[in-house]
Amino acid sequence: MTDQRDDKKDTVGSLDEADLDLLFSAARSAAPDPDAALLARIETDGLAEMPRARTARLGQEQSIASRLARIADRLVWPAGLSAAALVGLWVGVSVSPQVPLLAEGLIGTDLGFAVAGLFPSVDLVGGGY
């Protein structure tokens, strides 16, 4: 390592190396210190930038997003339920033995015979099957 010994041989001028050393020593003793307000600002920055704090902020953002998603789910869910209910109703109506409309449509047809064969308990109104 090149040290102060190397610096000394290069120093020339009206002040010698010893004088300069005294000046540097005085300047080191009078080093400017940051005030408390600056330290507080720096520490505040540090806490705000701390990875966990950033994660928490990110989590908060994600939380907002998931809340929006839940609201969207609630809006979509009734629509889905309604659709399912309608399909169920249609299926129910379609296979119900108590619905004459369907029975009438089936009486005397090949499909009617097939249904009667598969579902003997189904009483096609007036069909006598």
Interior CA angle at 95 toward 94 and 97, to 5°? 115
Interacting positions 44-83 with other proteins (CB under 8 A): 45-47, 49-53
Q: Which stretch binds other proteins (CB under 8 A): 22-30, 64-72, 98-106, 118-126?
A: 22-30
Minimum distance between the CB of residue 4 and other proteins, rounded to whole angstroms? 8
5 in contact with other proteins (CB under 8 A) = no
22 in contact with other proteins (CB under 8 A) = yes
Q: Which stretch binds other proteins (CB under 8 A): 25-33, 60-68, 79-87, 94-102?
A: 25-33
Kindly state the number of chain residues that form the binding site for other proteins, as judged by CB under 8 A: 40
DSSP the chain: ---HHHHHHH--SSS-HHHHHHHHHHHHHT-----HHHHHHHHHHHHHHSHHHHHHHHHHHHHHHHHHHHHHHHHHHHHHHHHHHHHHHHHHHHH-TT-HHHHHHHTTSHHHHHHHHH-TT---TTT--
From the list 3, 5, 74, 101, which residue makes contact with other proteins (rule: CB under 8 A)?
3
Q: CB within 8 A of 80, min separation 6: which ones? A: none
33 in contact with other proteins (CB under 8 A) = yes
Contacting residues toward other proteins, per CB under 8 A: 1-3, 6-7, 10-16, 18-20, 22-24, 26-34, 38-39, 41-43, 45-47, 49-53
